[in-house]
Amino acid sequence: MAKKATQIEDVDTLLKRLEEMREAQAEFATFTQEQVDKIFYEAALAAEKNRIPLARMAVEETGMGVMEDKVIKNHYAAEYIYNKYKDMKTCGVVEDDPAAGYRVVAEPMGIVAAVIPTTNPTSTAIFKTLLALKTRNAIIISPHPRAKECTIAAARIVRDAAEKAGCPKGIIDWVPAPTIDMTAAVMSNADIILATGGPGMVNAAYSSGKPALGVGPGNTPAIIDDTADIK
């Protein structure tokens, strides 16, 4: 019988859960490209099939955005990302040049800390979990408090499909009751951070002492001419 995963309730249980995830990721790191690609496909397909209910959940929980637009974003995060990376080699030797005397070997980082925003929670969760699966990494998600239910729902769909396809159990998990302190603990104890959010959160990721890729606000100025009909 498989050991039951530790429930994340505070920083201590988070640290214990991360130890369990490292064990699962060590097993995942031994998977072949064929195994990884099957998991990647099934997880992306599950996310794509649930793009509409996840979009509805995101709008209802956050009160932000247009459902039809979020459907498109979920579709992009699932199908486009799959098609973009499905043929990419992420296991073993990915480049070999005997003449130049070098060889490139793809290895996973370990545990990815994924900070998810309230503005586009489900699509970001889909995108980051799929990338973790394709690269044989574990991923721990810290949702925005105002978008935690829809974020967790998206992550659960990807996780369940991945495990059904043969992924080690425990590769994907999340903080069920996110706080600033818990998010900081997630970031400081992971191996790499993918942070999406406001300037403060992105700066916190960059200041965590761990490698981090941050994405902050991308709103651009807009000029509306006097002749425009805005009614």
Tell me the CATH architecture of domain 11-215.
Answer: 3-Layer(aba) Sandwich (3.40)
pLDDT tens profile 118-176: 999 999 999 999 999 999 999 999 999 999 999 999 999 999 999 999 999 999 999 99
Residue 167: per-residue pLDDT: 98
Q: Is the pLDDT of residue 220 over 90?
A: no
pTM reported for the whole predicted model: 0.90
Beta bridge partners of 138: 111
Spans of all domains in the chain: 11-215
Write the DSSP assignment of 6-68 as a string of letters. PP--SHHHHHHHHHHHHHHHHHHTT--HHHHHHHHHHHHHHHHHTHHHHHHHHHHHH--S-HH
C-alpha to C-alpha distance for 136 and 131, rounded to whole angstroms: 9
Question: Quick check: 135 and 40 in contact, CB under 8 A?
Answer: no
Sheet containing 138-142, strands listed edge to edge, beginning at the edge strand earlier in sequence: 172-174, 138-142, 111-115, 192-196, 212-215
**CB-CB neighbours of 184 under 10 Å:** 16
Q: 157 Cβ partners below 8 Å, 6+ apart?
A: 46, 47, 50, 54
